Amino acid sequence: MTIEQNRRARDIGLELPGTPGPFNAITDVPGVEVGYRTLIEGQGELVVGQGPVRTGVTAILPRGRAGVGRPCTASWYSLNGNGEMTGTTWIDEVGELSSPITISNTHAVGACHAGVIEWINQEHPKMAKQWILPVCAETWDGYLNDINGGHVTPAVARAALDDARTGPVAEGSIGGGTGMNCYGFKGGNGTSSRRIAFGAKTFTVGVFVQANFGARSELTVLGRPVGRELEVPDPLNSNWIERDRIAPGGAGSVIVIVATDAPLDAKQCQALTRRVPMGLARTGTTGSFFSGDIFLAFSAADDRESSTAFPAQGISESEIQTRGVMPWNRMNLFYEAVAHGVEEAVLNALLVNQDMVGRDDHWSPALPHEPLLKLLGR
């Protein structure tokens, strides 16, 4: 019996560490919403501006639609800077994130930036009277997509924001992950979560990845280097190893967003981002020079009005807030949650996927479930 390609890592019996939340997704963190707009059109020879199109936009709202403008403590980290994530200099300055996050393709950052501003003007006009510095991130989908065709517009970004909701999160070739490749297989979006018990209280760490990195020979699953043993013939070309028809190994980038409801300060959020590479390494990558590996973490625990807005005249004692944060000597469980959650999110991005043919008949095969399980002895 053929195993369905829409099943996640745990669904096919992969034994992964940690206890996930009810959705095993970044939306297990209360308030977080995720939305998509997917663009798939055309086939055959590339004609810039016409297609084929294999792209889209993913939107992540840290406090949901109603909470835009209310800051989360936040930080970010670049393992390798061959990529882009806007808004990070302001995050460095104040340790806060107040805007939605969008993720798309490399040449769509400007369109997403404009779309977020337009959307905030419409949905939150009071916030729009001040400066808006959206976080817009990217990975490269030019192997499958007409990346120079301008198909992602501000309207596409607005549609992704309008689609944002809580609950289960779609994975694989959807939204910004539509045209991505990972470890020489079809890549895209993946998510996971971990629950952490502290006495009577339980915190959640949620992870979202847009996976577009790694060479096939690197792919490691549950500690076994399976990529070098997996061969997938190209149904469109008998000479399936022809150079211009292989998804570029090691190039492309990976964006990772980490969310939690634990009370962390900005320095602790940065500590979480620095553990993301531990999870990526568990899937085999060594970090390619041509891969922009950029990560952001935020804590949605302290829901309050922004402290960076233009102040009114005078100052009141109520503006000086005292906040409790997680003790540093209790952070190890959060580090584990990030590393394990990132590993599972990458595997979900690979497993919940289908073969895709893009521009110039470039082909990206889905990671085959049955051969993988056979190599793992399952």
Task: State residue 18's pLDDT score.
Answer: 97
Task: State residue 237's pLDDT score.
Answer: 54
99, 104, 293, 299: the active-site residue? 293
Task: State residue 319's pLDDT score.
Answer: 56
75, 193, 291, 364: the active-site residue? 291
Task: State residue 321's pLDDT score.
Answer: 61
Specify the CATH number of the domain 26-306+326-375.
3.60.70.12
Task: State residue 90's pLDDT score.
Answer: 97
Is-catalytic flag, 291? Answer: yes
Is-catalytic flag, 253? Answer: yes
253, 288, 299, 364: the active-site residue? 253
pLDDT tens series, the chain, 378 aa:
345 678 999 999 999 999 999 999 999 999 999 999 999 999 999 999 999 999 999 999 999 999 999 999 999 999 999 999 999 999 999 999 999 999 999 999 999 999 999 999 999 998 888 889 999 999 999 999 999 999 999 999 999 999 999 999 999 999 999 999 999 999 999 999 999 998 889 999 999 999 999 999 999 999 999 999 997 765 555 444 444 556 666 678 999 999 999 999 999 999 999 999 999 999 999 999 999 999 999 999 988 766 666 555 555 555 556 668 999 999 999 999 999 999 999 999 999 999 999 999 999 999 999 999 999 998
In degrees rounded to 5, what are phi and psi of residue 98? -120, -10
**Distance (Å, whole) CA 231 – CA 116:** 42
Q: Is the pTM of this model over 0.75?
A: yes
Is-catalytic flag, 28? Answer: no
Contacts of 112 (CB under 8 A, 6+ apart): 57, 102, 104, 134, 136, 152, 154, 157
Task: State residue 307's pLDDT score.
Answer: 65
Given the structure tokens 């959060």, which residue do they identify? Answer: 334
Task: State residue 1's pLDDT score.
Answer: 35
